[in-house]
Amino acid sequence: MTESMAFSGRVSRLADAMREFPPLLWSFLYFFFLLTGYYVLRPVRDAMGASADVEAVFPRGLIDWFTSKGVALGDFTLQVLFTGTFLCMVLLQPLYGALVSRFPRRVFLPGVYGVFIACLIGFYFAFERELPGRGALFFIWVAVFNLFAVTVFWSFMSDIYSDAQARRLYGYIAAGGTVGGFLGPIITRLLVNQIGLANLLLVSMVMLVGCIGCIVKLGYWARLREAERGLQSDEAMGGSILAGLRLVRDQPLLRAMALVMFFGIGVGTLLYNEQAAIAKIFYTDDAARTAYYANIDLAINLLTITVQLLLTRWLLTRYGVGPLLLIPAIAILIGFAALTASPLPLLVATVQVMTRAGEFSLAKPARETIYTRVDRETRYKAKAVIDTAIYRAADLTFAWVHKLFAMFGTSMVFGAGLLVAAGMTYSAWNLVREQAKLPADSR
- Backbone dihedral region of 238: left (phi > 0), alpha (psi from -120 to 50 degrees) or beta? left
300, part of any domain: yes
Looking at residue 132, what is its pLDDT?
73
Kindly report the CATH number assigned to the domain that includes residue 111: 1.20.1250.20
316, part of any domain: yes
When pLDDT is cut at 50, 70 and 90, the band that residue 443 belongs to is: very low
119, part of any domain: yes
Is pLDDT above 50 for 199?
yes
Is pLDDT above 90 for 425?
yes
Looking at residue 235, what is its pLDDT?
54
Cβ–Cβ under 8 Å, residues 441 and 305: no
- DSSP class per residue in 270-316: HHHHHHHHHHHHH--SHHHHHHHHHHHHHHHHHHHHHHIIIIIHHHH
Dist CA 100 CA 82 (whole Å)? 26
441, part of any domain: no
Dist CA 113 CA 116 (whole Å)? 5
Looking at residue 10, what is its pLDDT?
61
Most confident of the ranges 50-54, 162-166, 357-361, 417-421? 417-421
Average pLDDT over residues 372-376: 80
Average pLDDT over residues 165-187: 83
Lowest mean pLDDT among 42-46, 246-250, 410-414: 42-46
Most confident of the ranges 139-153, 227-241, 420-434? 420-434
When pLDDT is cut at 50, 70 and 90, the band that residue 278 belongs to is: low
Sign of CA dihedral 339, 257, 313, 148: negative
When pLDDT is cut at 50, 70 and 90, the band that residue 442 belongs to is: very low
Instruction: Please choose, from the candidates 231, 407, 228, 419, the residue with its C-alpha nearest in 3D space to the C-alpha of residue 336.
Output: 419
Give residue 252's domain range: 21-435
Looking at residue 423, what is its pLDDT?
93
5, part of any domain: no
Taken as a whole, the chain contains a residue count of: 443
Looking at residue 229, what is its pLDDT?
64
Is pLDDT above 50 for 8?
yes
Angle of helix 286-307 relative to helix 252-282, nearest 10 degrees, comes to 140
440, part of any domain: no
Looking at residue 241, what is its pLDDT?
46
160, part of any domain: yes
Q: CA–CA distance from 316 to each of 37, 322, 337, 363, 385 (Å)?
A: 28, 8, 28, 11, 25
Most confident of the ranges 232-241, 352-361, 381-390? 352-361
Q: How much is the mean pLDDT over the chain?
A: 80
Q: CA–CA distance from 437 to each of 164, 223, 430 (Å)?
A: 16, 28, 11
Give the number of domains in the chain.
Answer: 1
Higher pLDDT, 281 or 321: 321
Average pLDDT over residues 314-321: 85
Is pLDDT above 90 for 263?
yes
Instruction: Please choose, from the candidates 113, 122, 97, 35, the residue with its C-alpha nearest in 3D space to the C-alpha of residue 389.
Output: 97
Tens of pLDDT, residues 63-122 = 888 888 777 777 777 778 878 888 887 787 777 767 766 766 667 788 888 888 998 998
Is pLDDT above 80 for 130?
no
Cβ–Cβ under 8 Å, residues 266 and 398: yes
3, part of any domain: no
Whole-prediction pTM: 0.70
What residues contact 405, with CB distance under 8 A and at least 6 apart? 412, 413, 415, 416
Is pLDDT above 70 for 353?
yes
Cβ–Cβ under 8 Å, residues 441 and 373: yes
What is the Rg, in whole angstroms, of the alpha carbon atoms belonging to the chain? 21
Average pLDDT over residues 186-190: 81
